[in-house]
Amino acid sequence: MAFGTSRDLLKPALGIGVQLTALRETHLPQALGQSAALRWPYREADWRFAFELGHGFAAEADGRLVATAMWWPFGPAHASAGMIIVDAKMQGQGLGRALMEHLLDAACDRTVLLNATREGLPLYARFGFAARGRVFQHQAVLTGEVPLAHAPAPAGVRSMHTADAAKVRQLDLAATGMDRTALLDALLRVGTTVVLDRGTGASAYACMREFGRGLVIGPVVASGADAAADATDLVVALARSARGRFVRIDVTEAGGLSTWLEKSGLPCVDHAVGMVREASSRSLDTDAQARLFALSNQSFG
């Protein structure tokens, strides 16, 4: 869903020939070039998936896309932000600041989350974002030498059924404190989803879908005293079905799976800093028993 209101043409000016506008579908091929310049692994299909779920702003210089920023609403209380890119030749001219101002204005009185690169930390701190843990990016091709791909099949993991949808949404809400129904519905349409069922219905879930260089595993959500063990079982089940493929998983520091993934043959190649800008009456309210172990994507969590 592209952002389309009377604000489609925003204040024109950061410099001669520079204009801020709504991100449009026709921008996506150029946006792909912007992310490729940063060596981000997005495909045009990944940009399109994000674009159809959220809202975006763009900066154009003489008709050429030079910066982007997107946000995704999770109900009236929360949102995430990402895809914030400024062309290297246009940095230092206030584009990032201007895009963030418009993004936060559009998000209204929502608590906003994002995952920051090292370079982006100072900008987000100026807008009141505070660090709240790290996200570790693990990835590898699941060859015969990767233990994760050949771990024993875990008991209790099965494909998600239509009847599990309400429980999956409930688990996600408990773990994140956010209404991510639209995101979950989109992930369920395009990916493979498994749940852990010990005989009483789904108690944990995980998704896997095509993304970037191969496949991404996430979200992974589990609840209860055995949540960490349940989360690893879900990851193993999906990894076994992805043998021979490139697999990425972005895990939260709070979830504690990073060390296990290293030992299982998926090295950590990078990390981001999770940040949050809480609205006065919109803090995150999560269930202490439920945890988000892996993100669907560093942009929308």
User: 37-74, pLDDT tens digit by residue?
Assistant: 999 999 999 999 999 999 999 999 988 999 999 999 99
- Cis before 219? omega within 30: yes
CA–CA distance, 116 with 149 (Å, rounded to integer):
30
What would the two tokens of residue 225 be? 């005293």
Q: Residue 24: its pLDDT value, please?
A: 97
On the question of a common fold for 6-108 and 135-294, the answer reads: yes
Enumerate the H helices of 177-212 as residue ranges: 181-190
Class of domain 135-294: alpha beta
Residues 247 and 217 sit within 8 Å (Cβ to Cβ) = yes
CA–CA distance, 15 with 149 (Å, rounded to integer):
52
Q: Residue 74: its pLDDT value, please?
A: 97
Q: Looking at the predicted structure, is the pLDDT value of residue 297 above 70?
A: yes
CA–CA distance, 151 with 264 (Å, rounded to integer):
9
Q: Residue 8: its pLDDT value, please?
A: 40
Average pLDDT over residues 190-206: 95
What's the CATH number of domain 6-108, 3.40.50.300, 3.40.630.30, 3.40.109.10, 3.90.79.10? Answer: 3.40.630.30
| Residue ranges of domains in the chain | 6-108, 135-294
Q: Residue 285: its pLDDT value, please?
A: 66
Of the chain, the percentage scoring pLDDT greater than 90 comes to 82
Of the chain, the percentage scoring pLDDT greater than 70 comes to 92
CA–CA distance, 103 with 118 (Å, rounded to integer):
20
Q: Residue 14: its pLDDT value, please?
A: 55
Q: Looking at the predicted structure, is the pLDDT value of residue 16 above 70?
A: no
Task: Say what the pTM is.
Answer: 0.91
Residues 53 and 98 sit within 8 Å (Cβ to Cβ) = no
